A and B are shown apart, each in its own frame.
Chain A
Amino acid sequence: MAFRDELRRVRAIAWKDLTTERRSKAGFNSVAALGITMLILFGFALGPDPEALRHAAAGAIWLSALFAGVLAFNRSYQVELESGALDQLLLYPGPRWSIYLGKLLANLLFVGLILVIVILVGIALFQVRIPAAWPQLLGVFVLGAVGLVVLGTFYAAMASRSRAREVLLPLLLFPMLVPLLLAAISASRALLGGDVMHEAGAWVKLLAAYDLIFLVATLWAFEYVIEA
């Protein structure tokens, strides 16, 4: 029964976050615009060579998603800081992990949508050929997005108590995401290139392990970072 109550709280948080985001619209539009702008800038930096663009596509897509994601994670707690809603949120009885899980689900959907837009634009801009192993590639994007959102949601909570949260979040988050980005970019690049060296599997295992370890760790630790 208590667990059912917690699931209800998770649903309430996710519903609230997604409803406020859907209504404000400005957040989604600006985050999506940042992701697309990043892709265009990477395109300019790489030059017009189609082969160079294709080779760099995986990295450009993941880094664009990362920068856009940081904006999204900051926004997720900005809503709570307005009008003292975070204090009110912490006044509700019940374990803190349900707040984290609710925010994580909402961010997963939000960043997932951004990632879809970034991938589609990236495919067009970087002249990417859809590989035969596209379901596996989709799996890599899902695992990468989960890892990104798990840590992004967690560190955004930690940074939310600081006045310099916009600067603090990337400083905390980016070093922690290096293994995830390495695995996601390498697996994506391998699958886009036909995975002739059969290396994608190892990177996917690393991604899955990363997601699982950090999901468990952040669920446990969230209580300590969100309390004043």
Chain B
Amino acid sequence: MPTANRELAIDAQGVARRFGARWVLRGISFQLQPGETVGLLGANGSGKTTLLRILGTMLRPSAGAASLCGHDVARDADAARRALGFLAHSPGLYDDLTARENLKFAAMMLGLDTGHTLDAALERVGLGAVRHERVRGFSAGMQRRLALARLLLRRARVLLLDEPYANLDAAGITLMNEVIADAGRAGGAALIVLHELAPAAGVLDRTITIVNGKAATGAAAAAPVAVEGALT
């Protein structure tokens, strides 16, 4: 069992996962340094979201180990969650609560003081004017912005973002990139699942590509290249 390195924001060592008889991930290893922003690429069904869910403590790896800021995501999941900010593909909001109530709930669950932080986060994502409206009436893009506001409630050391640009307009993409860049400047690392590089081109330091769930590869953002990695 590899020793977790507290210096690393993300340390994945031979992470593998299978569903039934099908191996989706077969031994993926990579590291993210604090402050680093990395795009995670791959074809549909290549295991990008599965990898993100493992790192996000929502799935256990079938083999291998991963840690966030030195905390093993399987054995020390609670500590890993304290370092984590996760933006899933689904917004995870409550339709019958207002935008502000959704944030208030998140703040209470995170043990944060509710108050001006909520309004500041809503203003930042451009939802200040609709803070008292129920989420049920929000468009997909507005729900995405609200999920982003929830991410802003605390400064996470590791951001895991699953297709964060989906449903966002140009202003929303710019806002998302500002948040990612701010996190990077503050020493936070970000791993971003992407279908296309273009929206994130300005914020990525490098990319990792999953090829048929068998290998993780790292390359400079400008020239992502798939290279065979260690297989289990």
- Are B91 and A87 in touch, CB under 8 angstroms? no
* Other-chain residue from B79, B81, B94 in contact with A92 (beta carbon distance below 8 A): B81
* Residue A196 lies at the interface, judged by CB distance under 8 Å to chain B: no
Question: Taking the nearest CB of chain B, how far is it from the CB of A125, in angstroms?
Answer: 33
- Given A91-B57, A94-B78, check contact A83 B97 (CB 8 Å): no
* Other-chain residue from B81, B94, B101 in contact with A85 (beta carbon distance below 8 A): B94
Stretch in B7-15, B39-47, B108-116 touching the partner = B108-116
- Are A9 and B58 in touch, CB under 8 angstroms? no
- Are A23 and B92 in touch, CB under 8 angstroms? no
1/0 contact string of A10-27 vs chain B (CB within 8 Å) = 011101100110011000
Question: How far apart sit A173 and B19, CA to CA, in the bound complex (Å)?
Answer: 28
- Are B88 and A90 in touch, CB under 8 angstroms? no
- Are B81 and A83 in touch, CB under 8 angstroms? no
A-B contact count (CB 8 A): 77
* Residue B201 lies at the interface, judged by CB distance under 8 Å to chain A: no
Greatest chain B CB density within 10 A among A9, A11, A92 is at: A92
Question: How far apart sit A24 and B108, CA to CA, in the bound complex (Å)?
Answer: 22
Question: How far apart sit A83 and B140, CA to CA, in the bound complex (Å)?
Answer: 11
* Contact residues in B for A87 (Cβ distance below 8 Å): 58, 88, 90, 92
Question: Taking the nearest CB of chain B, how far is it from the CB of A75, in angstroms?
Answer: 12
Question: How far apart sit A90 and B86, CA to CA, in the bound complex (Å)?
Answer: 11
> Which B residue sits closest to A8, measured CB to CB?
B108
* Contact residues in B for A90 (Cβ distance below 8 Å): 57-58
Q: Count residues on chain A whose CB falls below 8 Å from chain B CBs.
A: 27
* Residue B184 lies at the interface, judged by CB distance under 8 Å to chain A: no
Residues in B83-98 with C-beta less than 8 Å from chain A: 84, 86, 88-97
* Contact residues in A for B57 (Cβ distance below 8 Å): 90-91
> Which B residue sits closest to A6, measured CB to CB?
B111
> Which B residue sits closest to A21, measured CB to CB?
B96
- Are A93 and B58 in touch, CB under 8 angstroms? no
* Residue B134 lies at the interface, judged by CB distance under 8 Å to chain A: yes
- Are B108 and A88 in touch, CB under 8 angstroms? no
- Are A84 and B91 in touch, CB under 8 angstroms? yes
* Contact residues in A for B106 (Cβ distance below 8 Å): 92
Question: Taking the nearest CB of chain B, how far is it from the CB of A1, in angstroms?
Answer: 10
Question: How far apart sit A218 and B105, CA to CA, in the bound complex (Å)?
Answer: 24
- Given A16-B97, A19-B101, check contact A9 B92 (CB 8 Å): no
* Residue A49 lies at the interface, judged by CB distance under 8 Å to chain B: no
- Are A85 and B93 in touch, CB under 8 angstroms? yes
* Residue A5 lies at the interface, judged by CB distance under 8 Å to chain B: yes
* Residue A79 lies at the interface, judged by CB distance under 8 Å to chain B: yes
- Given A79-B94, A84-B91, A228-B58, check contact A92 B101 (CB 8 Å): no
Greatest chain B CB density within 10 A among A16, A84, A87, A91 is at: A91
* Contact residues in B for A20 (Cβ distance below 8 Å): 94-97
- Are B59 and A228 in touch, CB under 8 angstroms? yes
B residues adjacent to A (C-beta < 8 A): 56-59, 78-79, 81-82, 84, 86, 88-97, 101, 105-106, 108-111, 134, 143
Q: Can you name 22 A-B residue pairings with CB atoms under 8 Å?
A: A5-B111, A8-B108, A11-B108, A12-B108, A15-B105, A20-B97, A83-B90, A83-B92, A84-B91, A87-B58, A87-B92, A88-B86, A88-B88, A88-B92, A89-B92, A89-B109, A91-B56, A92-B81, A92-B106, A92-B109, A94-B78, A94-B109
Supplied contacts A83-B94, A93-B82, 11 more A-B pairs, CB within 8 Å: A8-B111, A12-B105, A13-B109, A87-B92, A88-B88, A88-B93, A91-B56, A91-B86, A93-B78, A94-B109, A94-B111
